[in-house]
Amino acid sequence: MLKLLTLFCVVYAAHGLVLPASILATYSDAFARTQMLALASAAYSSNPQHCLDSKFTNAQLKRQIYVKNCALVNNDVCSGYTAVLHNDKAIVISFRGTQGFFQLISEANKSIFESQMSWIAGGKVSKYFGDAFSKVWAAGMKDDFAALLTQNPGYEVWVSGHSLGGSLASLAASYVIGTKLVDGSRVKLVTYGEPRTGNKDYAHAHDAQLAYSYRVTHNRDVVPHVPNEDFEGYYHNKFEVYYRENMKNGAKYTVCNGDEDNGCSDGLWITTSIDDHLHYFEKDISAWGDKGCN
C-alpha cells in the first residue's frame, strides 16, 4: 500500500497537481456492474423510478429533465435526472446519450468536437458537451441537486452516464466539485463508453479533482476513441477500466493508470464496434433501462 501511495504522489507531483482529498479509491466491478450501471441505464427510461425500485431499497427519483433542441443536431433531446438512495446514503446525478450524438458518431462526423469552450475546473471541453450539460443543469437539475444536498447532508454523490451521457456525467462531477458544492472526496463517478470530452488540461484538472473516477470501456467500443487523440488536443481523464472480449460475471478487466494508456483500449488497432458500445455488462443499456432494469 505504501508503495502504491508513493507512486501516486510521484505521478501527481510530476503533473504539478494538488492531491485529491482521498487517493485510496479502488475500482469495484460489482459497484460498476450493478448499482452504477442501473443508474446509467435508468436515464434512458421515461420513468427512472422503475430501475431505482428494481435495484435499490428506499430510493426516490427527484426529477427527470428534458431539454429539446439541446445542441447542434436538429430535434436532439438531452436528458438527465437526480435521485436519492437512502440505503446507500447517496445522491444521484445521471445522464443519457442522445440520438443525434449517436447518429453523428455512426456517420464518423466530428462536427460536435470541432468547437471547444473553456471549462471551470481548467482546460477546454467540446462546446457541444459543455452546452448540453449547462442546459440540462439550468433547466432544473441545479435546483434539484441543491435541494437534495440540503435535505441529505453527508451523503455521497454518485454520478453516472453512458455514451454522450458519460461525457455529461464527467462534466457534472467536475462542475459540482469546481463550484464547491461538494468536496471531491464525496463524489463517485463511473461512466460507460465515454467519448473524449476535453483536452489534456481538462483531463489533468479532472484527475486532480476526483479520486473515484472510472471510465469503463468494453472491448472494441468505437466511442471511447472518438475523436482521435490527435484531433484538436482531445485527451481522456483517469481511470480507464478496460474489459476485453466479454463482460460476463467474473470477466477479467484492467485498470489503467495513465490518462491515455496502451495497457487498456488504446492498445487496440481496431476499435470500430457499435455493438460493443451499446452493450455493457451484457445489457443493452438503453433497452434494459427502458424495461426497468429487470
Residues between 107 and 146 with contacts to ligand NAG, criterion CB under 6 A? 107, 109, 111
How far apart are the C-alpha atoms of 236 and 177, rounded to whole Å?
19
How far apart are the C-alpha atoms of 284 and 275, rounded to whole Å?
9
Output the CA torsion sign for 232, 172, 33, 103: negative
Report which residue type is found at 278.
L
How far apart are the C-alpha atoms of 223 and 132, rounded to whole Å?
18
**Nearer Cβ to ligand NAG (73/91):** 73
Give the SS3 label for residue 87: coil
Least spacing, CB of residue 118 vs ligand NAG, in Å: 23
72 binds ligand NAG (CB under 6 A): yes
Least spacing, CB of residue 103 vs ligand NAG, in Å: 8
**Nearer Cβ to ligand NAG (75/118):** 75
285 binds ligand NAG (CB under 6 A): no
Closest CA to 90 of 135, 44, 36, 22: 36
Residues between 76 and 105 with contacts to ligand NAG, criterion CB under 6 A? 104
Least spacing, CB of residue 124 vs ligand NAG, in Å: 20
Least spacing, CB of residue 98 vs ligand NAG, in Å: 12
Helix pair angle (200-209, 2-15), 10° resolution: 140
Q: Which of 59, 70, 73, 256 binds ligand NAG (CB under 6 A)?
A: 73
**Nearer Cβ to ligand NAG (74/87):** 74
How far apart are the C-alpha atoms of 15 and 294, rounded to whole Å?
44
**Nearer Cβ to ligand NAG (77/251):** 77
54: which 3 cell numbers?
Answer: 428494481
Residues that bind ligand NAG (CB under 6 A): 72-73, 104, 107, 109, 111
